[in-house]
Amino acid sequence: MKNKTIFFILSLLMVAISSCNRDKNNPGYAYMADYDMYFSKYDKAYDASTILPNGQVNQPAPEGAVARKSSYYPYHPKGVVERMTDQVKAGKELDNPLKATKENIAEGKRQFEIFCSDCHGFDAKGNGHLYKEKLFPAKPSDLTGSHVQEMPDGSIFFVITEGSASGLMGPHGTQVTPENRWKIVDYLRSIVK
Ligand code: HEC
């Protein structure tokens, strides 16, 4: 009985001591047969890949991929001519991702009143405070008129982002988020019936 206990304790000690190893990256002796459990074949972060092209692990996003919470917007016009052509292109290429729900239209109205009504007026007809008081020299467009209403959603979105082609209306891309630009478009559609 006694011998058995001593033998048991001794063998446990041997196992414990032999498991220790100064090298922290070495798992020591593996007592189980299944080696994969001890020595898993993992790749180190930033190691070259053996299966992907050029060994590159992090692949670039596919062309045209849109980051979450952002919208597809490839235009960076420089000057009047590019603004003119891009405005037409945007009308064909950009789809309004937002439904004209009551909430979206209400927020569009709020955004319009903050960012556009100074020039375009609360009724959007182009007689805003700044123009009426001669504080802004150029006549703002009537946004309820057929010229603007016949423009596709994407072109209006573009004008808000980059300003008008002539440059008389400045860009509002830094003030109005993409989502709110679409809501303004929905609002502008809703005021003409
Ligand atoms: C500082 C004054 C000003 C502000 C603010 C302003 N606009 Fe304008 N907007 C103008 C003027 C002036 C024009 C006419 C410019 C032209 O003919 O080039 C215009 C033209 C437009 C057009 C017609 C462009 C075209 O191609 O015919 C649209 C659409 C428009 N504005 C929408 C908006 C919206 C939406 C906002 C708010 C986000 C806004 N504007 C804010 C002054 C302003």
**Rounded Cα–Cα distance for residues 117 and 123 (Å):** 8
Q: What are phi and psi of 22, to 5 degrees?
A: -70, -35
- Across the chain, which has 193 residues, the per-10-residue mean pLDDT values are 88 80 70 66 82 88 76 88 97 94 97 98 96 95 96 97 95 94 97 84
Give per-residue burial for 56-82: e unless 16+ CB within 10 Å, then b: eeeeeeeeeeeeeeebebebebeeeee
Can you give the pLDDT at residue 25? Answer: 75
How many C-alpha atoms does 152 have within 13 Å on its Cβ side?
Answer: 14
Ligand 1 atom nearest residue 131's Cα = 2
Can you give the pLDDT at residue 5? Answer: 92
Can you give the pLDDT at residue 15? Answer: 79
Cα 36 to ligand 1 centroid, rounded to whole Å: 67
Ligand 1 pocket: which of 96, 115, 119, 130 to mutate (most atoms within 8 A of CB)? 119
